[in-house]
Structure 1
Amino acid sequence: MMPSSNTVLDLFRLDDKVALVTGSASGLGAAIATALSQAGASVACHGNRRAATDTAEAIGSAGGTAAAFRADLSSTDGAEELFRQVRGRFGQVDILINNAGTIHRAAAEDTLLEDWQKILQINLTSVFQLSQLVARDMMARNAPGKIVNIASLLSFQGGIRVPSYAASKGGVAQLTKALANEWAPKGIQVNAIAPGYFRTENTSALQADETRNRQILERIPANRWGDPQDLAGAAVFLSSRASDYVTGTVLTVDGGWMGR
């Protein structure tokens, strides 16, 4: 028997796929967008406060195909506007990475309702809105697809002084499972990645706090903060045919934190 020309590595290729990565102007989102491009996808790079121009240009300079978009996901209309822009440019979305997120640090008794609502809108409600828009389009095209949500260690733990963030990320984990249950029969896999402590703007205050930084590193078996590139492999896997029988899963990428 002649050996097949296809190998397991071919399952990770994303050629002819269009990926939308929210919150990809920098940090984890930029690293994920770059990884998906390297695997062959055309990438729609989204920025909330600013267009993800630098990310898109870097992908283009490396020979990939990308475009930058801006939409305010703190608005209830932001998700629909973003999807409209991306579909207008690329025609479809085959892979959705719901990465955009923000955090508000305050004692629970001091958290204002407006701050609570903003965090929930960006971190959870817009995730549902975009997933719904993309899934409807996939179903109308009778096309398989991948949705990957970015959860958090606080999808499992309560944290300190971040009640709105913990609530939103707990919701992301449960939403991932709920959508996976409904959409798997339609060929749409919905999974999540729960990053541990990564070097990003959201954790800059913790990194700068000598005591908290030491406590965090003492808890992580890998004994280091994660770098954005550490998410690349997990993102490509969950976006590719290699994960066609994986759905409803929250994959921790945390240097061993949850196993400690």
Structure 2
Amino acid sequence: MSLPLSLPATGRRVLVSGASRGLGRAVARAFAANGDRVAVHFGSRREEAERTLDSLDGTGHALVGGDLADAAGAEHVAGRAADALGGIDVLVNNAAVNLRHPLPETSYEDWAALWQQHVAVNLLATANLSHLAGRRMIDQGSGGRIVNIGSRGAFRGEPDHPAYGATKAAVHALGQSLAVSLAPYGIGVASVAPGFFETERVADRLSGAEGEAIRAQSPFGRVADADEVAAAVLWLASPAAEWSSGAVLDLNGASYLRT
């Protein structure tokens, strides 16, 4: 199938999930600075999401709340975003949970509950939003982009966060499957696999001996800035990146090299 496609370089309608702070905020800012209109999604941190919204360049942005762990909630979020923006051209699946649960220290009750939570948010929400946004892109007939936020942990293992590592590996696989099925409609799908990057949530871990050890993982002797990851997401969502569809882009400062 060959379709006439007109995905613009700017002025796109972008939904960023989990954009109340951290990487999601950086991604929303990158798209807004590019001249795009952004739907800023939040789960429970409305005030922080409002700060994200207020920090965006340009006009026409929107705030969208909703629980992505629930299929109906994901449908509500996608619908609200499409209504506010007049459609969806780009989806960035950033929303995720990452809660500590090493097997030797975790009760079975907590283990089962935490696995369900990680699967619901990290994997099923990504799949559901991808379907909802992807169908809109198909109906719009002008192509589109889906960029998933994965993780280095999908490859190197996460002994203290096994459900996080496993669900991020599944997100990478999902993205590659969708890249094949959506390419005939001019929709590119790719993932980024960041290593450690600095956000408010992990700031305490970057002090003292733990911080030194984390920075030493990379031969650059530092961790990434969220803006560096956001810049890669922005490029993968661009018209120039169509041939990168299906890729999983490592962003870890050579701290982990896949073979």
**TM-score, length of structure 1 as denominator length:** 0.89
Shift of 1:40: 1.2
Residues 201 and 117 (structure 1), Cα distance of their counterparts in 2 relative to 1, 3 Å cut:
farther
Q: Which among 67, 84, 103 is matched to residue 62 of structure 2?
A: 67
Cα distance in 1 for residues equivalent to 2:196 and 2:179: 26
Residues 194 and 252 in structure 1, CA contact (< 8 A), matched pair in contact too:
yes
Look up the equivalent residue of 1:227 and give its one-letter code. Answer: D
Deviations 1:158-191 (A, max 9, x none): 1221111011111111111111111112211000
Alignment partner, residue 4 of structure 1: none
Deviations 1:81-119 (A, max 9, x none): 101111121121000000011111021252421111011
Alignment partner, residue 7 of structure 1: none
Cα distance in 2 for residues equivalent to 1:31 and 1:65: 18
Residues 76 and 202 (structure 1), Cα distance of their counterparts in 2 relative to 1, 3 Å cut:
farther
Deviations 1:45-70 (A, max 9, x none): 111112321111111xx334311111
Cα distance in 2 for residues equivalent to 1:202 and 1:102: 12
Are 1:190 and 2:189 counterparts? Answer: yes
Q: CA RMSD in A?
A: 2.0
Alignment partner, residue 3 of structure 2: none
Are 1:98 and 2:98 counterparts? Answer: no
Alignment partner, residue 237 of structure 1: 235
SS at match of 1:115: helix
Residues 37 and 65 in structure 1, CA contact (< 8 A), matched pair in contact too:
no
Give runs of aligned pairs for residues 210-225 of structure 1, distance below 5 A: 210-225=208-223
Alignment partner, residue 177 of structure 2: 178
Shift of 1:214: 2.3
Cα distance in 2 for residues equivalent to 1:53 and 1:233: 22
Alignment partner, residue 227 of structure 1: 225
Deviations 1:6-64 (A, max 9, x none): xxxxxx973231000011111101111101111111000111112321111111xx334
Residues 76 and 121 in structure 1, CA contact (< 8 A), matched pair in contact too:
no
Deviations 1:214-244 (A, max 9, x none): 2222221121121111123211111111102
Cα distance in 1 for residues equivalent to 2:243 and 2:119: 30
Percent of residue pairs identical:
33
Look up the equivalent residue of 2:55 and give its one-letter code. Answer: A
Cα distance in 2 for residues equivalent to 1:36 and 1:188: 18
5+ residue gaps, structure 2, are: 1-6
Q: Which among 20, 29, 50 is matched to residue 53 of structure 1?
A: 50
Shift of 1:246: 1.4
Cα distance in 1 for residues equivalent to 2:235 and 2:167: 25
Aligned residues: 247
